[in-house]
Amino acid sequence: MRISTLQAQLSRYAHLAEAHPLLIGYSGGVDSTVLLHALLESRAPGRSRGLRAIHVHHGLQPEADAWAAHCRRTCDALGVPLRIVRVDVRSDTGTGPEAAARAARHAAFEAELEPGEVLALAHHRDDQAETFLLRALRGAGADGLGAMAPWRRHGRGWLWRPLLGVARAELLAEARARGLEWIEDPANAESRHDRNFLRHQVLPLLQQRWPHAHAAFAESARLSAEACALLGEEDALALAMARTADPQALSVARLLQLPEPRRARVLRLWVGAAGLPPLPARGVRQIEAQLLHAGVDRIPAFAWHGAELRRWRGQLHADWQRPALPADLDLAWKAPYAPLPLPGGGRLAFDPPIHGHADAPADEAPAGASLGSTLRVRARRGGERIRLPGRRHSHSLKHVLQALGVPPWVRERMPLLVNDDGSVLAAGCVAVSASLDAWLRVRRLRLAWSPDPDPDTD
């Protein structure tokens, strides 16, 4: 194979990539080295709009600095701008070193990718076969067996794998024929890693009996991906029918109208769209057995990887796990009421923020539309009452929140805003008292409560 014969692979997604610049993930290994030269020497999509490279420095091997220096020399000689990004590979994720390094690498890719840019990676046919087998051994369904997609969305841009149809041996032969220089990661020879065990022990044995094993597994992955694309269209329709007015809730009754295999796919699609970790197989089984068929008086839950799915009032609710507010919480919130951080990462704020004095001119303020200079923020303790706008009498806060459909676990972390006389002004931003409502209207403000960490802070 000559490098010019890669043109068909490089142009496969030309109709999608031709208007975008390219960012190549360059490890310095033989695969990415061949791809780098192929992109430079071909009329590849995006070449006219710029080609740059990124090298992720994992720091896992003593030679890591030397590898980065090699990549720098190579890119400088070729006139390709290179960005070297150091990452910290976490060892406490519970997913293993391979998965942790891959997650850190892809996070670096996503952070570097410019809007509309195409990230080109050098995964080849043998990588695809190994991925297919690894996922099959983990009991993956059709979605997992689809393995690596040749083209998909990634962060602010796209991810492109133009060499998925090319064998590793062909890339190695091409590199040697052209006298290219590359680096060898000694970790690739260690069979203690799952992928390397398949590469060095299992697949060679299979190829003794079935020489086309790599190609067959890669083709099975392609066919699985095609099947998933067809299933995905029906999944999206079923999910739309099961949705409720709350984007984080699904109707149990509508889910139960679906066949069980379709329900499982819809649940996975919904959880993924919510930005939560993928549901494990045991989770789907537990949701089916314990949540979907639970009695109306129960609030069963399933938790996984920091996320949680609950059933309440005929709906499934999915969100990240968040602790209840401390029972002894008592914070002072002083005028002009700058955004107030809460335990667990949430905050209370007025929107837009108040600058300067918090009070409106006296002639603009209706009766009762005033607050003390210091408010208190507390956790719910039970027995609180609140007088809502347009009501003459106060009502039980518990009954008000129930009537508003606030789930019990949300009530546990909902802060109370209390005036200096002890009267409840608001519960989160869901229930607002008549006096606070008048105060907000005069100033054209709204009270905002977020249970999530402030995106502007670490």
Would 3-221 and 243-320 be classified into the same CATH topology?
no
DSSP annotation string for 102-124: HHHHHHHHHHHPPTT-EEE----
pLDDT over threshold 80, residue 361: no
Asked if 262 and 234 count as a contact pair (C-beta separation under 8 A), the reply is yes
Q: Has 28 been labeled as part of a binding site? A: yes
End-to-end CA distance of the chain: 50
CB 10 within 8 A of CB 3: no
> So where are the chain's domains?
3-221, 243-320, 330-450
- Determine the Cα angle at 97 with ends 93 and 102, to 5°: 90
> pLDDT higher for 270 or 141?
270
According to DSSP, the β-strands at 82-86 and 51-57 are: parallel
Using a cut of 0.85, tell me whether the model's pTM lies above it.
no
**Measured CA distances, 121 to 151, 154, 158, 163, 383 (Å):** 10, 12, 11, 8, 60
Yes or no: say if 135 and 281 are a contact pair by the CB < 8 Å rule.
no
Q: Which CATH superfamily is domain 3-221 in?
A: HUPs (3.40.50.620)
Extract the tokens encoding 157: 């841009």
Query: Was 31 annotated as part of a binding site?
Result: yes
Q: In whole angstroms, what is the distance from residue 14 CA to residue 134 CA?
A: 30
Q: What is the mean pLDDT of residues 179-207?
A: 89
Residue 202 marked in a binding site: no
Q: What is the pLDDT of residue 169?
A: 92
Average pLDDT over residues 366-376: 64
Please state, in angstroms and rounded to a whole number, the distance separating the CA atoms of residues 60 and 126.
24
Poorest-confidence range of 97-111, 126-140, 364-378? 364-378
Q: Give the position of tokens 């398949």.
A: 198
How many CA atoms, within 13 angstroms, populate the side-chain half-sphere of residue 93?
15
* Average pLDDT of span 12-18: 58
Checking phi first, is residue 59 left (phi over 0); if not, alpha (psi -120 to 50) or beta?
left
Q: Characterize 262-294 residue by residue with b for buried, 16 or more Cβ atoms within 10 angstroms of its Cβ, and e for exposed.
A: bbbbbbbbbbeeeebeebeeebbebbbeebbee
> For residue 5, what pLDDT is reported?
53
317-337 mean pLDDT = 88
220 is in an annotated binding site: no
Q: Which two tokens stand for residue 146?
A: 């689809």
Q: What CATH fold (topology level) applies to the domain 243-320? A: Chorismate Mutase Domain, subunit A (1.20.59)
DSSP 452: S
What would the mean pLDDT of 210-214 be, rounded to a whole number? 94
